[in-house]
Amino acid sequence: MRRGRMNRKPILRKAGEGDLEFLFSVYACSRVEELAQVDWDDDQKSTFLKMQFEAQHRYYSENYRGADFQIVVIEGQPAGRLYLHRRSDEIRIVDITLLPEYRHAGIGASLLRTILEEGERTGRRVTIHVERFNPALRLYQRLGFSIVEDKGVYYFMERTAISPGLACAAEGGSTDDVR
């Protein structure tokens, strides 16, 4: 996968039970930096990641009933995951994670713009929990998200519906991408 701007728009497809191995790999790649700081062997890290993934998967399934759990596909290849929970007054981004080789290519920004456009059309705010150290924090802020609450490790961020002129201005900037 080449770095830089993607010419093809991401395609979303519903995640199924057959995608669990891929979803685990997406989850695991999002924890590499964190696990590099612990003095565990590969088996311990693998066991920890599997337990954490299973707990997260169970939590999301139970607490976001009716959510869209989707696979991000680029040029026919699974590239990440996007979990959205639509409520009457809110679109919650439960999770948006791309494999490392698809980051910094404008894919995450493209997905976020599509979600923000839906929020604009339907008059709903868009919310997300973002880890403090996540490099994508800059992207969220550039797209108009603001910190609503500091939850320790996470910020709870939201973007309320804004006028179309402001939305266009928020789309400019670099190709930072989500993790």
Q: Report yes or no on 178 lying in a domain.
A: no
CB–CB of 68/14 below 8 Å? yes
pLDDT above 60 (res 50): yes
Domain that holds residue 109: 11-170
Q: Report yes or no on 42 lying in a domain.
A: yes
| Structure confidence at residue 165 (pLDDT) | 45
Q: Report yes or no on 5 lying in a domain.
A: no
Q: In this structure, what CATH number is given to the domain that contains residue 113?
A: 3.40.630.30
pLDDT above 90 (res 7): no
pLDDT digits (tens, 9 = 90+) for 75-113: 999 999 999 999 999 999 999 999 999 999 999 999 999
Look at 51 and 175; give whichever has higher pLDDT: 51
pLDDT above 50 (res 169): no
pLDDT above 70 (res 162): no
Phi, psi of 172 (to 5 degrees): -70, 170
